[in-house]
């Protein structure tokens, strides 16, 4: 086999340059600024600033509220990732079996994909309206005095439900195409070996879906951590109050609502480090167990 290559070093550099520039401008440059301003306390208008060393970081560690938000972020991400993957997988497996009207089902299931997170949040507000929301009434049937924006757990539940609902279609599309790419011969061979459909699913289908599932796992964790911002913002209706929030939202609240640039920068640096650790962990530990065909 002949190895493809470039004769001239400048051509590949030139081809890479646009991408590298985008990363530099939109990631390294602001990240550097964030790192720098995390060591200062700065007047919002930019007149004065004091170097405070690691104070912005140490004050985070001692802050109970920050710990509470960090804990909520973990719980929220686990719930959103688990439920949006599990429900989407179930729907994909069922949709895969449907023979008549399959396209209609699929289109209907994918529809939500087109909705932007803030719009999903506003739909959530309608569904969870304190007096007229159908889902509010549903929870009240079970004796839970469900009030969005009043009760911490109620607001958290609403956030999880809307975030899961919004993410299911993406997972569904990937799972379905993953399922459809499993060769018919493999499935038929499995049918002979194992009569139980559940057994076949866990022993044959699921391992073959693993690369898709791993990819989706990363996508979903990132989604729960960062892309749910719009949903959380909408469901809070502009008032943090005693509502739950994620770490990313806290960065925004402190920086853009409270104008505490130093504190907000320190938080975003912490978040950057967390994402780095998470990525390393995912690729080192999880990817080893997955076989790509």
Partner 1 sequence: MTNLKLCATAATIAFTATAAFAETEITWWHAMGGQLGETVNQIAQDFNASQDEYKITPIYKGSYEETLTAGIAAFRAGEQPNVMQVFDAGAATVIGAKGATIPVQDLLSNNGADFDINDYIAGVRYFYADSDGKMIGMPFNSSTPIMYYNIDALEAAGVTPPKTWEEFQSTTAPALKDAGYVALSQSHLPWIFTENFMSRHDLPFATNNNGYDGTDTEILVNNDAIKAHFTAVSEWKENGMFEWYGTGWGDNQKPFEEGKVAIWLGSSGSFGGLLQKDLPFEFSAVELPYWEAVTTEPTQTFIGGAALFAMSGKSDEENKATAEFFRFLTAPETQYFWHQETGYVPITEAAYEVAKKDGHYDRFPAAEVGITQLSAKAGENTKGYRMGFYVQIRDIMNREYGRILTGETDVETAFKTIEAEANALLARFAKTQS
Binding interface with partner 1 (CB under 8 A): 41-50, 52, 59, 63, 65, 130, 147-152, 237-243, 253-254, 256-260, 262-263
Among 151, 169, 261, 270, which residue's Cα sits nearest to residue 223?
A: 169
Cα–Cα distance measured from residue 159 to residue 228, given in angstroms and rounded to the nearest whole number: 9
CB distance 225 to 74 below 8 Å: no
**Residue 46 C-beta: closest distance to partner 1, Å:** 5
Closer by beta carbon to partner 1, 137 or else 237 = 237
Closer by beta carbon to partner 1, 76 or else 83 = 76
**Residue 169 C-beta: closest distance to partner 1, Å:** 30
- Containing H/E element for 72? helix 64-97
**Residue 57 C-beta: closest distance to partner 1, Å:** 13
Closer by beta carbon to partner 1, 18 or else 48 = 48
CB distance 68 to 242 below 8 Å: no
End-to-end CA distance of the chain: 22
Among 108, 16, 61, which residue's Cα sits nearest to residue 267?
A: 61
**Residue 42 C-beta: closest distance to partner 1, Å:** 6
**Residue 113 C-beta: closest distance to partner 1, Å:** 28
Strands (E), 55-153: none
Backbone angles phi, psi at 170, to 5 degrees: -60, -50
Closer by beta carbon to partner 1, 38 or else 205 = 38
Closer by beta carbon to partner 1, 69 or else 170 = 69
**Residue 117 C-beta: closest distance to partner 1, Å:** 18
Closer by beta carbon to partner 1, 60 or else 164 = 60
User: Alpha-carbon torsion 87, 231, 211, 4, what sign?
Assistant: positive
């Amino acid at each position: 086999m002949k190895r493809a290559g470039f004769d001239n070093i400048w051509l590949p550099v030139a081809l890479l340059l646009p991408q590298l520039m985008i990363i530099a401008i939109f990631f390294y440059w602001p990240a550097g600024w964030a790192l720098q301003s995390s060591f200062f306390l700065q007047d919002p208008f930019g007149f004065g600033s004091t170097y405070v060393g690691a104070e912005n970081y140490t004050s985070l560690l001692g802050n109970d509220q920050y710990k509470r938000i960090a804990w909520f972020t973990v719980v929220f991400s686990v719930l959103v990732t688990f439920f949006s993957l599990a429900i989407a997988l179930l729907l994909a497996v069922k949709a895969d079996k449907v023979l008549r009207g399959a396209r209609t089902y699929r289109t209907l299931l994918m529809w939500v994909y087109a909705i932007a997170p803030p719009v999903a949040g506003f739909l959530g507000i309608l569904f969870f309206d304190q007096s007229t929301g159908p889902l509010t009434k549903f929870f009240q049937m079970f004796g839970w005095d469900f009030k969005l924006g009043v009760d911490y757990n109620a607001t958290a539940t609403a956030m999880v439900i809307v975030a899961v609902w919004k993410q299911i279609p993406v997972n569904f599309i990937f799972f379905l195409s993953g399922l459809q790419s499993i060769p018919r011969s493999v499935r038929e061979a499995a049918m002979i070996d194992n009569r139980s459909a559940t057994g076949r699913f866990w022993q044959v289908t699921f391992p073959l879906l693993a690369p898709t599932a791993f990819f989706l796992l990363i996508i979903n964790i990132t989604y729960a951590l960062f892309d749910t911002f719009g949903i959380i913002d909408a469901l809070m209706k502009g008032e943090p109050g005693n509502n739950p929030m994620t770490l990313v939202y806290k960065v925004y609240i402190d920086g853009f609502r409270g104008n505490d640039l130093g504190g907000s920068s320190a938080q975003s640096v912490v978040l950057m480090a967390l994402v780095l650790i998470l990525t390393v962990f995912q690729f080192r530990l999880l990817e080893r167990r997955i076989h790509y065909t």
